[in-house]
Amino acid sequence: MRSLLKSKKAQFFILSAVLIVSVLFMISNWIRPISILDTSSAVLMEEPFVFNNIKEKADETVQISANCEELRFNLEEFKNFTVDFTLRKNFNLDLSYTIDSCGVSSRQVTFNITMTSPRMTINSNFVSSK
C-alpha cells in the first residue's frame, strides 16, 4: 500500500511540473511579440546614412588636399563618384560646391548637397575649411 502512495505522489509531481512549464511557455509566447522591437525600417532606410557619409567625405576631401590644383581635381572626382554611386542606389544627388578661398595653408569650400529618393529629400549647406 505504501509503494502505491509513493507512485501517486511521483505522478502528481511530474504532472504538476509539466503543467507549470507549459503554462510558463504559453505566457512567454504571448508576451514576446510585445517586447521585441522592429528595427528593420531604420536599416532599410539607408538614405540618412549615405547622405551623412557623403557630407563627411566631402569635408575629408578638403582636409586631405595638398594644394589648390589637387583640391579642384579631388572635388570633381568626388562629385563624379558620389553622383554615380547614388544613381545606382536610385537616389538623385545634387552636389555643388564653391571654393571660397584657396591658399597654401588655408582653404575654404562651401558645399550645397541635396539628395532625393522616392521616400525623402535631404539637404545640407555647410562650409569646410582647413
| Mean residue pLDDT across the chain | 86
Burial (Cβ within 10 Å: 0-12, 13-18, ≥19) of residue 99: middle
Instruction: Count the residues in the chain.
Output: 130
pLDDT score at 104 = 74
Q: Is residue 82 within 8 Å of residue 93, measured between CB atoms?
A: yes
Q: What is the CATH number of domain 46-129?
A: 3.30.1300
| Residues 111-127 pLDDT 10s | 999 999 988 899 999 99
| Residues 57-113 pLDDT 10s | 999 999 998 888 998 999 999 999 999 999 999 999 999 999 988 877 788 999 999
The whole-model pTM stands at 0.66
Which one has a higher pLDDT value, 113 or 41? Answer: 113
The full set of domain ranges for the chain reads 2-32, 46-129
Q: Tell me: pLDDT of 3 over 80.
A: no
